Amino acid sequence: MQAVDILDEVVADLENDDNLLRIKRLLLYASRNIWAKTVDEVARYGLRQLIEELLSSVQEIDTLKKILGEQVKRLNNRPEYVQSADTIIGTIGFLYPMRSQLVKTTVSQEPAPPQAKPESIPYPFDLRSEICRNVSPLQAKMLIYSALYYPFSPRERDWSPMNNYDLDDLLSALYQACETSEDVRSRLYSAAQKSEFVEDSQRTAGVIFQAMRSLFPA
């Protein structure tokens, strides 16, 4: 199997990880020494892009372990980030023996930069209003938060991570994180399936998807 094929598998595995946001945040820190504080900051970067930048800037797996370990020690919610750091080492670590081949490949390909989407959703007020006519803002927030980060339960003792974002923030982050309306649908329904209240969450997913689908090319 070629190095690029293994990279594709690593990207696919991490894209389905419940801790994707934390993984991307740690990758961004390790490769650029930037700690993203908001959802929008993280959503601007694709996972594959972050992995390729990491392989270019951090040349040894032991160096990566040291960078991640030191950063995790500084964080308040250490257990979640310890798990995310271990996931990074356990998956991207497989790429380091073929690092020179991957770095050479990604540089030689020189892909054209993708056309950037607007940083904010067109007409966010209308979008929010359409969603809130059919489901409660809290239901929408919980599902979108679950789709972007990790499954959120109403029984969580600490709601502060989700409450750091209003509905418009989360809608914008979901918009930025998805390339197509099908990506939106897939993320929402996948999160709904993991919910404690699957039927209600699926209904909420349908409302949000129908409201957002027109924002993407047909």
pTM, two decimal places: 0.51
Q: How do residues 102-118 score in pLDDT, each as one tens digit?
A: 775 444 444 444 444 55
The two tokens of residue 217 are: 């090319």
Which residue is listed with tokens 């957002």?
A: 212
Q: Read off the pLDDT of each residue in 200-213 and give the average, rounded to a whole number.
A: 94
Q: In terms of Cα–Cα distance, which of 74, 110, 184 is closest to 140?
A: 184
Q: How do residues 6-36 score in pLDDT, each as one tens digit?
A: 888 888 889 888 888 899 999 988 888 888 8
How far apart CA 59 and CA 61 sit, in angstroms, is 7
The two tokens of residue 149 are: 């980060």
Q: Read off the pLDDT of each residue in 53-71 and give the average, rounded to a whole number.
A: 89
Angstrom CA distances, 210 to 8, 15, 37, 143, 205, stand at 30, 23, 30, 15, 9
Domain spans of the chain, in order of start: 3-109, 124-215
